Amino acid sequence: MDVEANLRLVVGLALLLAAAVACLTWARVPRRRDVLTASARAVAQLALIGLALRGVFAAPATAAAVLAVMLVAAVGTASRRLVGFPAAVRRVGVSCLLGASVALGVVFATGAVEANVRNLVALAGSVVGGTMTACTLTGRRLADGLRRRRDEVEAWL
């Protein structure tokens, strides 16, 4: 991207943020500071991720480390959300790893997407995020069902 395109991007994002703050002010929603703080955090996080990805694309051998970090973050997040499940970390880890491996394997093996580092990192981020969400929702749904139908489960056991 050239400097002019970057400048247009920054101006556009600043205008969107100003519009959001103006709407919150007009609607008398007392969360303007939260929106500004969240926006600043997002900019900082995305800048860091952008720098990390630039490094990964320059040295493709580091892609495995990026994938491992993604998986560890997803497993940690989903496991924290499933408090009370024994061995949640191991079970969520296996589920995320197998789910993501199968999905990415099929996509790349069939040639649906060109196999390169950029596509691998981009798709892995989406797929691992999806497996994290699936594990969380499945665990919560299971716990809810077991609580609601406790008598029936005990009778079957």
Report the chain (157 residues): mean pLDDT per 10 consecutive residues.
83 93 92 92 90 86 90 94 89 94 95 92 94 94 92 90
Determine the pLDDT at residue 5.
84
pLDDT value at position 1?
59
- Whole-angstrom distance, CA of residue 84 vs CA of residue 91: 13
For residue 57, the model assigns a pLDDT of 86
All residues at 6 or more sequence positions from 139 whose CB lies less than 8 Å from its CB, including other chains: 78, 81, 82, 85, 88, 92
Q: How far apart are CA 122 and CA 114, in angstroms?
A: 12
Q: Residue 105's closest CA among 78, 123, 131, 125?
A: 123
Query: What letter does residue 115 receive in the DSSP assignment?
Result: -
